[in-house]
Amino acid sequence: MNTNNHDMFSPLTFKNGVELKNRLVMAPMTHYSSNPDGTVSDEEISYYARRSKDVGMVITATTYVTPNGKGFPNQFSAVEDNMVPSLSKLAKGIQDEGAKVILQIFHGGKMCPPSLVPDGDVVSASDIPANSEAVKPRPLKEAEIEEIIEAFGETTRRAIEAGYDGVEIHGANGYLIQQFFSPYSNRREDRFGGSLEKRMTFPLAVIDKVQSVVAEHADESFIVGYRFSPEEPETPGITMGETLKFVDVLAEKKLDYLHVSLMSFFSNARRGVEDLNKMRISYLLETIDNRVPLIGVGSIYTAEDAKKAFETGIPLLALGRELIIDPDWVEKVAEGRDDEIITEINKEKQEELVVPDPLWKVIIHTPGWFPGV
């Protein structure tokens, strides 16, 4: 395990030579605020610009790679070449503030609302619905799986053309890539399902496709990351033990970083490992063993939270909700103004916080999601 305590304001250099000015990242968060045609809205660009000047890197809200992968209303699109100018506008808006910008790419799979996908045709690895009230998804045919793998590559090409610094493959939060890795969602008996190794086939194929497109269309400075969720509550579901085996494989894939998705950075493992009093982050850092940088995340609100997180040896730390609550968080910590940090959303300051109306409504009407609501 890496026991070095990182200074959050020290630079980090990826293996490809790209340097981040510090170790703080804006986490990817859906904001429901794009235009009806899938282009990025001016409100979104302002929202990102307000939060991009102090972090080393911004990972955007996720964009979908095929029409049947759209997971959220008013989500921006990257499914066609005519979306490149819109994507470019967002990239430039963030880069102009001094941060590297990463486009997160995904397919929602069975998490897609039927109303958002063509003909209401919700697809997944198998016919296991997202929950008891959700529609039963249609299992993808092998040829369709190959088409989606290709689509991840095409979206990566668009990100390159739009001037992004990299892409993050979204293999977390129950979306299609995780659905293939999950023994709960994936009951297939072909080459894409069955054993743990076979359930890795789709995620690894997406990574290979993305990396091949980067090799063809970009230079070595283009960043490729992969996000994953370590455990699932379902039985059978992904366990911490399975994730560590997967992460061991991912650490050898020449990715620029891995990004774990957690609600709480300091949460302990639940099953599949010997010591359930040990943090997931600790297990992950031990398994990765400095082969690739890991981004940690999850309910980091105060400067003390962040310092404690970096004491684990985590190389990079993402801030999500806290950067919505206080866009000046990084500046305040850098200047030693920890006591001025705001840790609860102020319902009277939407305009000052530069949060688009659709996202603001979701925040205000989702009790427990944000402190202060």
CB 328 within 8 A of CB 359: no
Q: Determine the residue type at 148.
A: I
Tokens encoding 37: 């045609």
Helices 42-52 and 84-95, packing angle to 10 deg: 30
Identify the bridge partners of residue 25 per DSSP, sorted by sequence position: 57, 318
Tokens encoding 262: 């957690």
Q: Which residues lie below 8 Å from residue 372, measured CB to CB, with a gap of 6+?
A: 325, 344, 345, 346, 347
Tell me how far apart the alpha carbons of residues 113 and 117 are, in angstroms, rounded to a whole number: 7
Sign of CA dihedral 11, 9, 296, 346: negative
Indicate the pairing of strand 12-13 with strand 19-20.
antiparallel
Catalytic residues: 175
